[in-house]
Structure 1
């Protein structure tokens, strides 16, 4: 059994990290479970919003469990641990449904990268952000030097990654990295979700894709997805499919 659970309550899915004894550090099994849960969420049309949360009140996630990668060979580390984690976090970032990370505690390393892959973040007052990888002789590997550079000022990323500085909640809020600060971040996230559930789910999905095109988040795939969505409603698409099945030349109308 993995330490990340999928809980579905009506239109809301919650991905809950459950490894508080290790400050919700991510293991290979947790990454695999996260990927499987994301696939299920994407295909469930009843799910309209996603929460990413964690058990305990000390940490949202302090990154990757060193026991999961400490003994890997250089090839295994680069080819599997880093690339698999990157792929799974990209999967979360590109989910078609809006996502909110509930930062009940510290978000360090891979935990910060996990939060950054969500659309919004809500943070507890005592929580902080950090990229401590250089302190154990590695570098950010799950988008810390890439996606975070689109979300945070460059000097702030450098403070964390090059100087080991922790960013406290007031600075994270001042640059827009977190949407709200609350003693009850889960309740604050739920309030945002309640508002989202009153909007058109299809409009939200397409708008998220358009924003990602502008932001450079998987731009090529997003552009083609939007084009495909438009063409799928056309009469030409219906005629093309029908003609193929009837083994005849299509008569396109341009509609």
Structure 2
């Protein structure tokens, strides 16, 4: 049974966490479902924005299901759990479409790392953020010490990862990690997503690539994607493809 749903609503897609019994703590099946939805979204040209949210009123996401990894060998924990989760979260972070996380309740550990994968975040006043991994004898593994280090000042990140301190919505907003604090964060996120209806989808996509290249989010792929888009629109590319099909030497116009 799916615990990560994909709901398409016009030009907006909702990725919905729905594992309330475990406060949306991620299992291997949930990771696989998230990856499958990311693949679907990349193949959905009509989708303009993606909203990541929780169905549960008690939590955005409590992180990773301890029962899913507690019995793994050190090798399997590193390879099959940490690296695999990191790879799938990267897939979300690198979606070509704008993403918004709706944090209406606690986002801890992997839940905070998941929210950090989105382009912006909207948070309810009573929600909190935390990295409690050290309290169960592990360290953040799904970009909590890497991507979050680009989004949160180093001393604050150390407060959370080393000392277990929680961050409330007001402080997260003051740090720039959260775009808005709202009593109804979903409605606010939908309003933000609606603004994309007046923007060029391709311009938005390219702007996201440019920003990611600047901050180091999959820089190599972003630079090559930008270059590929530029050359793909050229007459040289059209001539090269046509010449190949016609089995002749190309005569590039240089345009």
C-alpha distance in 2 between matches for 1:46 and 1:55: 24
Aligned to 1:193: 193
TM-score (norm 2): 0.99
2:16 matched residue in structure 1: 16
Q: Distance in 2 between matches of 1:168 and 1:59?
A: 14
User: CA–CA distance in 1 between the matches of 2:153 and 2:170?
Assistant: 15
Report how far residue 86 of structure 1 moved.
0.4
**Equivalence for 1:220:** 220
Q: In the TM superposition, what is the alpha-carbon distance from 1:240 to its structure 2 partner?
A: 0.5
Equivalent positions of 1:11-160 (< 5 A) are 11-160=11-160
Number of residue-to-residue matches in the alignment? 255
Q: TM-score, normalised by structure 1?
A: 0.99
Match of 2:7 in 1: 7
Cα distance in 2 between the residues matched to 1:44 and 1:56: 27
Report the Cα offset of residue 196 of structure 1. Answer: 1.7
CA distance in structure 2 between the aligned counterparts of 1:24 and 1:216, rounded to whole angstroms? 29
1-structure distance, mates of 2:58, 2:125: 12
Q: Structure 1 segments of 4 or more deviating over 2 A?
A: none
Q: Shift of residue 2 of structure 1?
A: 2.1
Once the two structures are TM-superposed, the CA of residue 183 in structure 1 deviates from its matched residue by 1.2
RMSD of aligned C-alpha atoms? 0.7
Shift of 1:49: 0.4
Q: How far 1:162 moved relative to its partner?
A: 0.3
Alignment partners' CA distance in 2, 1:198 and 1:68: 44
Counterpart-to-counterpart distance in 1, 2:81 and 2:134: 17
User: Counterpart of 2:198 in 1: which secondary structure?
Assistant: coil
Structure 2 unaligned regions, length at least 5: none
Give 3-state SS (helix, strand or coil) of 2:60's partner: strand
